[in-house]
Amino acid sequence: MDELKVSNDTSLFEVPAVLDDTGRLTDSCVRQALTMMDTHGLVLLTNLLSDEEADVGLELMRQTIDDPNRSRSSFASETDNHYVRRDFCSLPSSAPVIRFAATLCQRLEGVYSEYCGRSRSLLEVATFTSYFGSSHQYIHRDPAGVISLFAAVENVSADQGGTVFIPGTHMYGGAGNKHGGRANALMELFRLQCNYRIFRHNLKKLWLMRKDKASLAPGEFVDRVFSKKWDQHQPNLLRFVLGKNSQFSLRMLGPRTLWKLYRHREALNDLFSLVQAAPRKGTVILYRSDLLHAGPDNRSTHPRRIFGMSFARDIIDAKFWHDGYSPHPTLSAHPMSLGDLLDSSPLPGPSRTLNQHPSTLVE
Ligand SMILES: [Fe+2]
């Protein structure tokens, strides 16, 4: 995107995954990953899954996406979901899905166990697909107190829209003391500056799509730009002017704020930067849910698919849970914890998955 300066170099946040005899990350890997999570709020573990294991995950996701009765997730942008710009849906707690999720949990046990006890809830297992023309989400924080995972089950290019993060903006006791005690105010200013650019980018893109009539569905332009419907991640002018978008609206741009944005413009660009992941197949991203981030738009004609899973770090109120995460009805009916997944059977070892067609794993 022209308006937003984003680096595609994630090497500072990467740890190559090395597994021990039990299929878990080695102690050294765990230590490096924890340092990244604590310092930057995220870590990218490259090659955590073999190609064959990633293929199993992709096949499970395809089965869900192709199911007309799939359970659609109710967060992100409802308008994008409606116009099939995105397709976010939860995966059922079937034996194959649990095996795939258990493999990830067991491999990452050393990292998870630092943040979540065994009894902590599995909030959702999901697949996030975005298509050409989706909106770039505003920079936001997910509900706090959650460790979220994205697994790339196929290569994701920068144009397809790997997640954008602002490293080091996660919250913890005393985080506000950073940057001379002004960290919270500066982070909010930087978020505002980014969201102004994202707003312009989304509007500009929709305007160009409008000229090319084939790329917008009937009514889509009005729904994304002038609708009264709640949607936090569209460049909706009406809700922007009325102050009805909690992510970005006109009422956030008072004269004092504009002055601060101008006064601190250099400090903001020195202190914070955006980095966009373009994970290779088999890479797993772990991040603290309150790290500033956004799901970008897909600027390619190839769908971007990613597997996602989240665990609570503490007890969690049901309303708070369902406001931010979408458990599949089968998971709501039979809740699972981190311990349940650590005790579940994983996928067969890499040598046994070789040459085994994914469909033979589906029950
Ligand atoms: Fe998010």
Distance of CA 174 to the CA centre of its chain: 25
Q: Would you give the DSSP letter of residue 277?
A: -
Ligand 1 centroid, distance to 55 Cα (angstroms): 25
Residue 199 C-alpha to ligand 1 middle, in angstroms?
A: 17
- Rounded to the nearest angstrom, the distance between the alpha carbon of 169 and the centre of ligand 1 is 14
What would the pLDDT profile of 310-336 be if each residue is shown by its tens digit?
999 999 888 888 888 999 999 999 999
Tens digits of per-residue pLDDT, 282-313? Answer: 999 999 999 999 999 999 999 999 999 999 99
Q: Would you state the pLDDT for residue 320?
A: 84
What distance in angstroms lies between residue 141's CA and the mean position of ligand 1's atoms? Answer: 6
Residue 118: both structure tokens together? 């065994």
Cα(354) to centroid(ligand 1), Å: 34
CA distances from 307 to 129, 140, 182, 287, 337 (A): 9, 20, 36, 14, 18
Grouping H, G, I as helix, E, B as strand and the rest as coil, residue 198 is helix
Rounded distance from Cα 360 to ligand 1 centre (Å): 34
**How is domain 6-169+274-361 classified at the CATH fold level?**
Jelly Rolls (2.60.120)
Q: Report pLDDT digits (tens) over 220-243.
A: 999 999 988 888 888 899 889 899
How far is ligand 1, taken at its centre, from the CA of residue 325, in Å?
10
* Tokens linked to 210: 């409008």
Report the distance separating Cα 358 and Cα 54, nearest Å: 10
- Give this prediction's pTM: 0.92
pLDDT digits (tens, 9 = 90+) for 48-100: 999 999 999 999 999 999 999 999 887 667 888 889 899 999 999 999 999 99
CA of 295 to the centre of ligand 1 (A): 7
Q: Which residues pair with 125 in a beta bridge?
A: 309
Confidence of residue 4 (pLDDT cuts 50, 70, 90): confident
How much distance in Å is there from the Cα of 259 to the middle of ligand 1? 29
Q: Is 222 exposed, middle or buried, given 0-12, 13-18 or 19+ CB atoms closer than 10 A?
A: exposed
For residues 184-210, average pLDDT: 94
Report the C-alpha dihedral over residues 91, 97, 101, 102, rounded to 10 degrees. Answer: 150
Question: d(Cα 282, Cα 225) in Å, to the nearest integer?
Answer: 37
For residue 353, the CA-to-ligand 1 centroid distance in Å is 33
Query: How large a percentage of the chain has pLDDT more than 90?
Result: 77
Answer whether residue 363 shows pLDDT above 60: no
The amino acid at residue 305 is R
| Pairing of the two strands 164-165 and 274-276 | antiparallel
